[in-house]
Structure 1
Amino acid sequence: MEPIEQTIAALTPLGERVCRALSDKAGQLGVASATQAIAPWAKAEFALSRDPYSGADSLIGTWRDRHGQACGKIMFHGDGSAYAEFDILQPHPQHPGMIIVAIEAWLRDGVVKTDLQLFPEPGREGIS
């Protein structure tokens, strides 16, 4: 096996957990897309990238939409931590006037946490 294939295989269980956390968050909010799965691990395009400071390799996965545009990424760092984000670009169902730009997930010490990138709708005044 090539080094990148070995790295992908070794990180698949954790990667799938992070991806599931992104997907679960989208499902809880009711913003999952009918045309594209949210952050499927198996659909990411992977590459290794060397951190110039630490010299450690990071595994970087990119998701693309049906037009080939990047719509998300997942990064596993040499210390075992990870960060992922997946574009949503939909109105927030519980907060009128806000747009969910992306769902983010972090993995550190085996714990996955999620959050939202939010932005006010353009032209909205008095967002609460």
Structure 2
Amino acid sequence: MADVKWIKITTSIFDDEKIKLIDSMPESDGIFTIWIKLLVLAGKIYDEGYIYLDENIPFTDEMLAAIFNRPLNTIRLALDVFKKFKMIEILDNNFIFISNWGKHQSLDKLEKLKDQNRKRVARHRE
């Protein structure tokens, strides 16, 4: 895991058609909260949008319910909605992948910034 303490969320998130559709659902608050928690978890793991307990253990629905402190049925509903809207992919090995993670998080820019910071620190230590 990298030492990244933030994720990008666009100020136009509530203008997104998928978020608007989620907002119209009966369990909208729970589903949206789970979406944000998944994004944060992907940011903590920092593996190009993959979400897992460790590299060999995918999260189960039950694990996510415990970690997110949400009812299991709400977790399952949210994951179904996210799959339907192509916001996530559940891979054959049951790992969760956030679709378009790199695009939304500007990973190339983040890597460039980390490289610049490394060089700056190295120069400072000289």
TM-score w.r.t. the length of structure 1 is 0.31
Q: Which structure has more strand as a fraction of its residues? A: 1
Q: Which structure has more helix as a fraction of its residues? A: 2
Question: Which structure exhibits the higher relative contact order, with contacts defined as CA atoms closer than 8 Å and separated by 6 or more residues?
Answer: 2
TM-score w.r.t. the length of structure 2 is 0.31
